[in-house]
Amino acid sequence: MRNFDQNSITQAVLERVAGASDPRVRQISEALVRHLHDFIREVRPTQAEWEKGIAFLTDTGHMCSDTRQEFILLSDTLGVSMLVDAINHDHQTAVTESTVLGPFYVEGPPEVACGTDISGDLAGEPMYVSGTVATADGTPLANAIVDVWHSDEDGYYDVQHTGEEAGLVARARLRSDDQGRFHFWSIRPAAYPIPHDGPVGKMLEAQGRHPWRPAHVHFMIAAPGHEKLVTHVFVAGDRYLDSDAVFGVKDSLIRDFTAHPAGTAPDGRAMDRPYCALTYDFRLNPVSEAASQAA
Ligand code: BEZ
Ligand code: FE
């Protein structure tokens, strides 16, 4: 095979990948070639534009490290992460919706008892968070692992304060009690821009987009026999709810962070200043028969 033109080259590459022994590799390779070639035929890049595209991908790779995943950020900002999420969590009306994980999760967060204030020395409006973990039909799930993390009042996560003594704050691992309940104290999170000092930031700028995410608290919840839930709860009224840089907002995940005056809080704590309160009842999807057999 030789002397390919703008159209015949696609068929030639398709024939070359048709020998893949794994049918899924073959399917993915064929779709990749078809869509990529159609994209190039539609865009008709100049040689210089092709070089710029390669340089963008190269820079994206160079930006990656143990603590920075620029390719996931690219996937997030192009809506691909939430598209994959939508495909894999279709028709799950009875359970809590999921959203992006984001880059600020830390494996093995500090384990704390319910009621702990996880904000360390951070300044900010106190926030009381309470909720429950249950099965799809509402049966409480005891001893579920509830990981939480969120930004501070300036929109930064603890792990972004490199070189400082802050340590891990505004993040923790709790366990639900025998009625599926959990609660903790922290400070109210703020909206923040996703990391935009790399190629993805340049892309957003070139596309005329802002890098902001609406304020939210992250939750990752795990219980035996159930799919791990990765989600956030967003602050109602945030100005970025309709323009989240990573398309992660769902109506079912928005809650009022209600204002409370100083006084006795729901867990009996005497509060000498006003605080806000968030409550959310999470429902987990049972692991499907097929998935549990495959595991
Ligand atoms: C986050 O919510 O932490 C996040 C999600 C996607 C990209 C950047 C940050
Ligand atoms: Fe976040």
Mean pLDDT is lowest, of 32-46, 79-93, 257-271, for 79-93
Among positive and negative, which fits the CA dihedral 177, 180, 181, 187? positive
Instruction: Label residue 148 left, alpha or beta by phi (over 0 means left) and psi (-120 to 50 means alpha).
Output: beta
pLDDT at residue number 93: 77
Whole-model pTM?
Answer: 0.94
pLDDT value at position 80? 98
* CATH H superfamily, domain 70-294: Aromatic compound dioxygenase (2.60.130.10)
Q: Ligand 1 atom closest to Cα of 81?
A: 6
Residue with CA nearest ligand 1 atom 2: 102
H helix or E strand, kind and range, residue 275: strand 275-284
Question: Using a 6 Å CB cutoff, which residues line ligand 1?
Answer: 73, 76, 100, 102-104, 194, 213, 246
Distance (angstroms) between ligand 2 centre and the Cα of 182 equals: 21
What is the 192 CA–ligand 2 centroid distance (Å)?
A: 8
pLDDT at residue 121 greater than cutoff 90: no
pLDDT in tens, 144-193: 999 999 999 999 998 888 765 568 999 999 999 999 999 999 999 999 99
The strand pairing partners of 279, in sequence order, are 130
Of 7, 12, 15, 63, the closest CA to residue 40 belongs to: 7
CB 254 within 8 A of CB 278: no
One-letter amino acid at 164 equals E
User: In the predicted model, what is the mean pLDDT of residues 91-112?
Assistant: 92
Q: What is the residue with the minimal CA distance to atom 4 of ligand 1?
A: 102
Domain spans, the chain: 1-44, 70-294
Q: What is the pLDDT of residue 2?
A: 86
pLDDT band at 25 (very low <50, low <70, confident <90, very high): very high
Residue 294 has a pLDDT of 55
Query: Taking residues 23-31, what's their average pLDDT?
Result: 98
